A and B are shown apart, each in its own frame.
Chain A
Amino acid sequence: MLSEVRFEGVHKIFGTENAVEDLNLTVNAGEFLVLVGPSGCGKTTTLRMLAGLERPSYGRILIGGKLVNNVSPRFRDVAMVFQSYALYPHMNVYDNLAFGMRARGAANDHVGRRVRETAEVLGLGHLLKRRPSELSGGQRQRVALGRALIRQPQVFLMDEPLSNLDAGLRVQMRAELSRLHQRFRVTTVYVTHDQVEAMTMGDRIAVMNAGRLQQVDAPETLYDNPANLFVAGFIGSPRMNFVPGKLTSANGRSSVTFLGITTPLSTGARLTAGADDSEVTVGIRPEDLMWRPAAGPDCTLTLAATVDVVEPMGHEAYVTALCAGETVTSRFPPRSGVRTQERVELALNPARLHLFDAQSGMTILQRPQAAGVDTLRSVGEARTNDSARGRSERQGEPEARGATTRSEEIS
């Protein structure tokens, strides 16, 4: 029942535009893979190729080890939640939900039971008689989701299935989807623009940009070790700070100079590239750049800054400050009392720095794995060391990093 999905060198070209370029990606059997990327980067196109609605221009697509390039959508046994819902406008909710099962020849009472179950889970029980045009946006989206969930396909394809739900319902549906996945372990490719969904639901996250896959990794790995500037900037909110810096080395130890300070790279970190005196981009996550009074003993670096904007979020505050001519964002505790134009001291743990090649944007710092990353969520009993190969694939950087070789916990 568990099916692996594999893209091998897949391209999709529309006219002169490369919607997807050289996609190599394996979704392990039973895995929940979240696909993220900016608008227009090719996420929907990728899903559509997997569903068979779009033929790849080049490359191979395999589902469950079977080449499906020329298999029509009907016979691929995938269920898709369309970004635009694509409900049958002339059918009521009940018939919309039942359509797929009926098409596959399920018995009427079985269909009825499943429709009612699914509608109950999605809170649609009282709407079964309504047409899509008589539903709110969020209700329509839940019908679209239900139309997929009612089936037991080999693969679920979900294109932003929760984007139109209110915050409360979204949390509830997120939990529901995770629960369903825990239970049935249907291989899932899930597109979202929501950072929280991406970080909490995915066994792994695949980041795409401009048709190219940037990085595929477990959420924590992706967050702690982004492969390039794009991933670093895309994952995490508020965005990672990027400031220019310079590498130097003194008696065998590399140091980096940025924002007017120089610090040796932390022990355990390893430069994978970058010569002396080369230009680098230094990345600092807002939560690693703290208010001095609130910082722990690890934060050995201190920067003087002038507060520009304070954005209170309730449980914390984002403070945008000017520091050595650069604008940086940091996360302050709530009610810190700092005001615009105030001089503050920011603290920074040098072990939390990210370094990227200023030209290529690729990471050049190999950091030790943070504790706790190995004990990731379970990814299914089918996952062996062999099938975990797909865990760390990166375009244009075939050499795998630590993440590929670490042992997996199976729970």
Chain B
Amino acid sequence: MAVAGTLGPRLDRERFQWSSLLMLAPGLALLGGLFLGPVLYAFYIGFTNLALVGSRSRDYSFTGLENVTRMLGDYVFVKSSWLTILFVVGSAIVGQSVLGMLLAILLRNAVVPIRVVVGSVVIVAWVLPEITVALIWYAFSQAGGTLSILLGHTSSNYLVLVPMLIVSVANLWRNVAFSMLVFSAGLRNLPSEVLEAAEVEGASVWRRYRLVILPLLRPTIVTNLLLVTILNLSEFTLIYAMTQGGPGIETTTLPIYVYQEAFVFHQLGYGTAISLVLVLIGAIFSLLFVRASRSQV
């Protein structure tokens, strides 16, 4: 520390060599042309009154904050935003992650045959096309479907009674394999002797998970949350195939609302503006997770 300043500039500081720009140029061009450009363009469209058909599809103009004010007064948009957050938090962040973690932990301690069978079944659900999953759960929750028989109310259509719940559970059912795989990999990579040390030191199972395993899994957990949030935020196929956003607007999450505004009501500008809100929500969640991952380790 004492010598700093007397020896000239530090040699171990990271430097950027301008000549490397030449090598980076093709990559930068691709990135700019195929990624940055469209994103900025979409951002611009979000502040116009562009329509899919009709005169506004040619003579659209920049309308400033008009789309934003419209959104704030739009009852469907507000409800749709809450539904989206509910869907992401309930189905993805809590449901999928917690269940995925539990499955990973149980399978880790299970004997080989059980591990193989359960693991395969869960992964099959994930490999099934979304449209198939939608069909299965649609049939499952209809009046006279398996669920109504199981619950003893054969005349109840649960997709009408509790649509958001059914859609969330269907989504959870399909996606839990993803979190399970991520957590299984994380658990497998934990340093086994560290866990053994905790055991020899007399820590109970609960204590080992709380004080050693989960803290060590922290980076894995954050990565999982980030991916799961981003993937589920834009979930469209499953919900649309099951309910088309209905009944009423009970399951109209933002991606479905975007679709309806842009392609059903031809309001391309407004639809894009809504999708920008989706991006914003995603960014906020991501920021929170990245923050959480930094505060320790």
Residues of A bordering B, CB below 8 Å: 51-53, 72-80, 82, 84, 86-90, 99-100, 103-104, 147, 151
Contacts and interface: CB of A to CB of B under 8 A. Distances in A.
Contacts of B202: 74-75, 77, 100, 103-104
B185 to A, nearest CB: 18
B203 interface: yes
Contact of A86 (B196, B215, B218, B296): B196
B194 interface: yes
B197 A82 contact: yes
Nearest to B201: A100
B194 A103 contact: no
A375 B173 CA distance: 74
Interface centre among A51, A72, A75, A88 (most CB of B within 10 A): A88
Contacts of A86: 191, 193-194, 196-197
B198 interface: yes
B72 interface: no
B204 A103 contact: yes
The 4 closest A-B CB pairs, nearest first, are A100-B201, A86-B193, A103-B203, A86-B197
A51 B200 contact: yes
A90 B199 contact: no
Contacts of B211: 99
B281 interface: no
A84 B197 CA distance: 11
Given A52-B200, A73-B200, A89-B216, 10 more contacts: A51-B200, A75-B202, A76-B200, A79-B200, A89-B194, A90-B215, A100-B201, A103-B198, A103-B201, A147-B201
B198 A84 contact: no
Contacts of B191: 86, 89
B27 to A, nearest CB: 34
B216 A73 contact: no
Contact of A74 (B203, B216, B296): B203
Report the interface size class on chain B: 20 to 34
A53 B200 contact: yes
A354 to B, nearest CB: 40
A73 B199 contact: yes
A86 B192 CA distance: 8
Contacts of A104: 202
A82 B200 CA distance: 11
13 contacts: A73-B199, A75-B202, A77-B202, A79-B200, A80-B200, A82-B197, A84-B193, A86-B193, A86-B197, A88-B194, A90-B215, A103-B203, A103-B207
Contacts of B216: 89-90
Nearest to A100: B201
Nearest to A132: B194
A212 B267 CA distance: 81
Contacts of B204: 74, 103
Contacts of B218: 90
B241 interface: no
A78 B203 contact: no
B200 A78 contact: yes
B296 A90 contact: yes
Contacts of A79: 200-201
Interface string B140-151: 000000000000
B109 to A, nearest CB: 13
A145 to B, nearest CB: 13
B71 interface: no
B243 to A, nearest CB: 44
B143 to A, nearest CB: 52
B198 A82 contact: no
Given A72-B199, A74-B202, A88 B193 contact: no
Contacts of B196: 51, 53, 73, 82, 86
B42 interface: no
Contacts of B297: 90
B222 to A, nearest CB: 14
B212 interface: yes
B102 to A, nearest CB: 22
Given A90-B216, A90-B297, A74 B199 contact: yes
A84 B212 CA distance: 17
Contact of A99 (B203, B215, B296): B203
Interface centre among B193, B197, B204, B216 (most CB of A within 10 A): B197
